[in-house]
C-alpha cells in the first residue's frame, strides 16, 4: 500500500512539473532558410518520379494535365485524363519556383531571378529548352508571419537562398520575448529575403507575350519564338503587386493596396487605365462581365484586420467603383463559371454562390470541413487545391458534386 501511495505522489509531482513547464512554453512558428549551392541552383532543373508534396502552392491546368507548385521546390505533374482517378506521374525540380504558365507545349517557370523554358510536348520526356538568367525579381518572400527566424550562415559567394521552411515548435515564452534581436539581425544580413507576395498567379500568357509581375513591375517577354523569349523593357506598376488576370486587351493586377487596370492593345508597352484603392490586404482578382471580384485577406503580413469579398463595377473601365462587399473569414483564390462564383475561404472551406444579382449573392453550397486555397473553373469540372489535397467537382445546375480527391503528400 505504501508503495502505491509513493507512486501516486511521484506521478502527481511529475504532472505538476509538466504543468509548470507548460506554463513556460508555447507553440511558435519558426522560419528556417532553404538554401542550395550555386552550382546546384544553376543545374538543378530535373524531372524525377512523383514525390510527396511539401507545401502546396498554385495550381495550373493544361490539356489533360494538372500542375501543382510545391513552394520553392518545383512542380508536381498529374495525369487527369480520368478526373475521377487522377494520377501523379512526375515531379519537375526547379529551385525557387512559385509560378508557371504554358502555351503550345512550352512551359515557362520562374527559378528565383531566372526564367526557365521546358518542352512538355511529351509529358513522359520533359526536356529543358533554355534558361534566361537574371530577368526576374527574386521571388523569395520574407515570412513575416513567423515568430522566430533562424537565418543560419549563408555564404552568398557559394550559396543561394531559395525559400523558407515554416515549422511549429514549442519554445520558451522568455525566448519569444527576446526574439526581436534575432529578427533584426536576420533582416539586416539577408536582403534576398525581403519582399511581399501573394497567393495566386503572377504569370500570364496573352498571345505572343508572357507577363510576369513582381512586387513593383510588369516583366514583359516576347515569346513569338517560344524557345528563345526576348526580355523587353519592364513597366513600373506600383507597390505590393501580387496577382495578374487577363481579359481581352486588359490586365488586372491585384495588389495589397488595390486593383490596377492596364491596357495591352500595344502588348509590349502596357499603359495604366485606372485603379481602385482599398485598405491594405492580400488581394487576388478575377473579372466577369461588368464586375471584378476581389478577395481581401486580413491578418498576418497582409495588413488589414478584416477579410471580405469586394465586387467592383468596371462598366466604366476608366472609373471602377465599389458595388458591394461581403464578409469572409480568410479568403484566398476565387473563380467564376457562368453564373457561379467560387471563393476559397481558407480554413472556412469552399463557398459557392449564384452571382446573377451581385447585390444579393445567393449561397448555393458551403464545403466546410476542408481547407481551400486555389481554384480553377474548367469547362467540364472544377479544380481546387487546399491542405495538400487536390479536389475535383462536377458542375450541377445549382451546385457542384465532388468526383475525386487526390492526397498530394
Determine phi and psi for 108, rounding to 5 degrees.
-110, 130
3-state DSSP call for residue 399? coil
Read off the DSSP letter of residue 297: B
What local confidence, expressed as pLDDT, does residue 272 receive? Answer: 97
Select from 119, 146, 140, 300 the least CA-distant residue to 214. 140
Determine whether 211 is exposed, middle or buried from the number of CB atoms within 10 Å of its CB (0-12, 13-18, 19+): buried
What local confidence, expressed as pLDDT, does residue 93 receive? Answer: 94
What local confidence, expressed as pLDDT, does residue 354 receive? Answer: 97
Question: Which set of grid coordinates corresponds to residue 258?
Answer: 488595390
Give the alpha-carbon dihedral of 166, 143, 241, 77, to 10 degrees. Answer: -20
**Contact yes or no for 234/220 (Cβ under 8 A):** yes
Partner residues linked to 66 by β-bridges: 61, 78
User: Taking the CA of residue 9 as centre, how many other CA atoms within 13 Å lie in the half-sphere pointing to its CB?
Assistant: 6
CA distance 263 to 211: 13
Partner residues linked to 318 by β-bridges: none
| Alpha-carbon separation of residue 256 from 184, 214, 275 (angstroms) | 24, 12, 13
- CA gyration radius, the chain: 23
Partner residues linked to 245 by β-bridges: 252
CA distance 142 to 168: 17
Domain ranges in the chain are: 25-195
CA distance 345 to 368: 9
CA distance 255 to 6: 65
Q: What would the pLDDT profile of 209-218 be if each residue is shown by its tens digit?
A: 999 999 899 9
Determine phi and psi for 302, rounding to 5 degrees.
-80, -15
What local confidence, expressed as pLDDT, does residue 192 receive? Answer: 28
Query: In the chain, what is the straight-line distance between the N-terminal and C-terminal CA atoms, in Å?
Result: 52
What DSSP assignment string belongs to 280-294? S-B--EEEETTEEEE
CA distance 409 to 391: 14
Partner residues linked to 341 by β-bridges: 336, 353
In this prediction, the residues of the chain whose per-residue pLDDT falls under 50 are 9-10, 14, 16, 19-20, 180-199
Cβ density class 83-100: b for 16+ within 10 Å, e for less: beebebebbbebbbbbbb
Match 502527481 to its residue by C-alpha cell: 12
What local confidence, expressed as pLDDT, does residue 240 receive? Answer: 81
Beta pairing, strands 148-149 & 25-37: parallel
Determine phi and psi for 148, rounding to 5 degrees.
-130, 150
CA distance 323 to 318: 15
Match 463557398 to its residue by C-alpha cell: 351
Amino acid at each position: 500500500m505504501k508503495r502505491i501511495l509513493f507512486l501516486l505522489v511521484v506521478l502527481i509531482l511529475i504532472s505538476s512539473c509538466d504543468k509548470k513547464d507548460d506554463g513556460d512554453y508555447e507553440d511558435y512558428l519558426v522560419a528556417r532558410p532553404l538554401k542550395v549551392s550555386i552550382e546546384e541552383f544553376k543545374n538543378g532543373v530535373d524531372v524525377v518520379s512523383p514525390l510527396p508534396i511539401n507545401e502546396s502552392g498554385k495550381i495550373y491546368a493544361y490539356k489533360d494535365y494538372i500542375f501543382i507548385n510545391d513552394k520553392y521546390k518545383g512542380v508536381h505533374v498529374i495525369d487527369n485524363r480520368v478526373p475521377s482517378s487522377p494520377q501523379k506521374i512526375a515531379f519537375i525540380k526547379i529551385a525557387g519556383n512559385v509560378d508557371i504558365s504554358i502555351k503550345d507545349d512550352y512551359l515557362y517557370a520562374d527559378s528565383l531571378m531566372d526564367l526557365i523554358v521546358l518542352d512538355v510536348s511529351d509529358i513522359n520526356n520533359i526536356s529543358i529548352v533554355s534558361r534566361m538568367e537574371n530577368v526576374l525579381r527574386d521571388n523569395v518572400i520574407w515570412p513575416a508571419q513567423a515568430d522566430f527566424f533562424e537565418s543560419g550562415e549563408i555564404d552568398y559567394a557559394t550559396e543561394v537562398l531559395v525559400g523558407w521552411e515554416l515549422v511549429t515548435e514549442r519554445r520558451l515564452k522568455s525566448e519569444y520575448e527576446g526574439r526581436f534581436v534575432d529578427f533584426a539581425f536576420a533582416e539586416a544580413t539577408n536582403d534576398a529575403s525581403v519582399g511581399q507576395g501573394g497567393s495566386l498567379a503572377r504569370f500570364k500568357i496573352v498571345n505572343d507575350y508572357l507577363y510576369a509581375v513582381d512586387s513593383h513591375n510588369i516583366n514583359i517577354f516576347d515569346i513569338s519564338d517560344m524557345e528563345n523569349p526576348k526580355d523587353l523593357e519592364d513597366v513600373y506598376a506600383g507597390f505590393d503587386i501580387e496577382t495578374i488576370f487577363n481579359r481581352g486587351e486588359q490586365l488586372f493586377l491585384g495588389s495589397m493596396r488595390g486593383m490596377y487596370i492596364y491596357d495591352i492593345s500595344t502588348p509590349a508597352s502596357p499603359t495604366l487605365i485606372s485603379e481602385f484603392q482599398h485598405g491594405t490586404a492580400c488581394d487576388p482578382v478575377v473579372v466577369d462581365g461588368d464586375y471584378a471580384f476581389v478577395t481581401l485577406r486580413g491578418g498576418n503580413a497582409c495588413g488589414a484586420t478584416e477579410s471580405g469579398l469586394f465586387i467592383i463595377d468596371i462598366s466604366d473601365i476608366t472609373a471602377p467603383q465599389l458595388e458591394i462587399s461581403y464578409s469572409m473569414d480568410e479568403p484566398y483564390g476565387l473563380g467564376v463559371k457562368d453564373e457561379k462564383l467560387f471563393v476559397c475561404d481558407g480554413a472556412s472551406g469552399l463557398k459557392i454562390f449564384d452571382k446573377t444579382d451581385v447585390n444579393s449573392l445567393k449561397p448555393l453550397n458551403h464545403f466546410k470541413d476542408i481547407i481551400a486555397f486555389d481554384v480553377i473553373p474548367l469547362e467540364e469540372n472544377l479544380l481546387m487545391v487546399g491542405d495538400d489535397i487536390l479536389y475535383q467537382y462536377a458542375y450541377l445546375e445549382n451546385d457542384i458534386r465532388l468526383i475525386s480527391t487526390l492526397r498530394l503528400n
